[in-house]
Copies of this chain bind each other. A is one copy, B any other.
Amino acid sequence: MTQSTSLPATYAQMLSTVSEDAKLTMALKDVPMPTPKDDQVVVRIEATPINPSDHGVMFGWASMDKASSKGSGKNTVLSAPVSPAGMGVMKARISQDLPVGNEGAGTVVAAGKDAQGLMGKVVAVMGGGMYAQYRCVPAAMCMPLLPGHTARDGASSFVNPLTALSMVETMRMEGHNALVHTAAASNLGQMLNKICMADGVELVNIVRRQEQVDILKSLGAKHIVNSSSDSFMADLTDAIHATGATLAFDATGGGALADTILTAMEKAAARTPGAYSIYGSVKHKQVYIYGGLDTSPTVLNRSYGFAWGVGAWLLPNFLAKAGPEVGTRLRTRVAKELKTTFASHYTDEISLSEALNADIVARYNAKATGTKFLINPQLPL
């Protein structure tokens, strides 16, 4: 084992806990600095993003509109009540201290004897529990950044880039030819546009506001439809007809959007001679829900025949199904295009303790497009 400098004996780690008495608590805990095993490294986490995909583990089904924080610095504690329905859903995690933070990047400061090659390197990691000052992980989990790339550049190397790439992979694996994407002006949505343009894949972008239309236009997106427009249904059907998209990824999840997309796909299919049977259009039409920006129920009117599906889509499940070769191919592309296709932009950089402040939580939990928070665990608590 080699280590660069003398490491502290303990470090701060953020944990989220749901207690028996229906309360969610998030706090920093001092945990002992581990000694890496032969194939492990200790990464000093220098940049770790707060993504919607982290919110699930952080907040679960707690009533975050009633959240409050107390204490300061490393003793800051965030808490929120949990409804009986929320407790039912979270049964399996009651009384467990769950580490939070899916991904991040930093410098390797200690390495086991088989992982010496990574010593001193800046690496990106998707290992969970990244909202911490340090993290001990298998060397195989680390993606070394190219020379000149910083931890901040690489903090979001996995969730958004691999999700965007995996959407296109899913499209190919399941026999579709084009995509529909909602909340399409998001960081992820912008990456997806760049990927689709580079790969020659047609993409229908659904956004809710004119400024989001403008963002995507400036990227060169061809098909952008605004769900706030009176002509939304007609515009969407036209774009789906033009592209032949029969697969959609929906970040919102709730309400009528999945239903609207399937309805538009069916209307578009009805325009194509031979695509229609008495049981509706023949080609399978699929909407994958990969986020929950809208937590209201998904409502399906089912007026689109008998060849459709709606389901949840989760990156780790997709990667497990696709296999390690696909995973390696996608990660290699991310490392190469980190500052172009997969560049992320952050509006706020905060410390681990600031991430527990109720006012700041309210901001990054608001899911408003345009805010994106980065935690730097090396900032003073």
Q: A residues engaging B (CB < 8 A)?
A: 56-57, 61, 85, 89, 91-93, 98, 253-254, 259, 267, 270, 276, 278-279, 286, 289, 292, 297-303, 305-314, 316-317
A253 vs chain B, min Cβ distance (A)? 6
Contacts of A302 in B (CB 8 A): 253-254, 289, 292, 297-298, 312
Expressed in whole angstroms, the Cα–Cα distance for A74 and B307 within the complex equals 36
CB distance from A264 to the nearest CB of B (A): 12
Given A91-B270, A253-B302, A300-B300, does the pair A56, B278 have CB atoms closer than 8 Å?
yes
Contact, CB under 8 Å: A279 / B316? yes
Complex CA–CA separation, A353 to B313 (angstroms): 50
Given contact pairs A305-B312, A310-B309, A311-B309, A57 touches B278 in the complex (Cβ within 8 A): yes
| Copies, count | 2
Task: Give chain B residues whose Cβ lies under 8 Å from the Cβ of A301.
Answer: 297
Contact (A300, B310) CB under 8 Å given A270-B91, A276-B92: yes
Interfacial chain B residues near A279, Cβ < 8 Å = 56, 314, 316
The winner among A93, A299, A306, A317 for most chain B CB atoms within 10 A is: A306
A61–B266 Cα distance when bound, in Å, is: 15
Indicate if the CB atoms of B309 and A314 lie closer than 8 Å.
Answer: no
Q: How far is the CA of A259 from the CA of B301 in the complex (A)?
A: 14
Smallest CB–CB gap between A261 and chain B, Å?
14
By secondary structure, the A interface counts as mixed
**Inter-chain contact B307/A308, CB cutoff 8 Å:** no
User: How far apart are A297's CB and chain B's nearest CB, in angstroms?
Assistant: 5
Cross-chain contact of A298 among B57, B253, B299 (Cβ < 8 A): B299
8 cross-chain pairs, A with B, having the tightest CB-CB distances, nearest first: A309-B311, A306-B314, A298-B300, A306-B312, A92-B276, A92-B270, A89-B303, A297-B299
Q: Which residues of the other chain, B, contact A93 by a CB distance below 8 angstroms?
A: 278
Residue of B nearest to A289 (CB): B302
- CB-nearest residue of chain B relative to A292? B302
How far, in angstroms, from A220 to B175 measured CA to CA in the complex?
43
What's the minimum C-beta distance from A61 to chain B, rounded to whole angstroms?
Answer: 8
25 contacts between A and B (CB under 8 A): A61-B303, A91-B267, A91-B270, A92-B270, A92-B276, A253-B302, A254-B302, A279-B316, A286-B311, A289-B302, A297-B299, A297-B300, A298-B299, A298-B300, A299-B300, A300-B300, A302-B312, A305-B312, A306-B314, A306-B317, A309-B309, A309-B310, A309-B311, A309-B312, A311-B311
Q: How far is the CA of A309 from the CA of B284 in the complex (A)?
A: 14
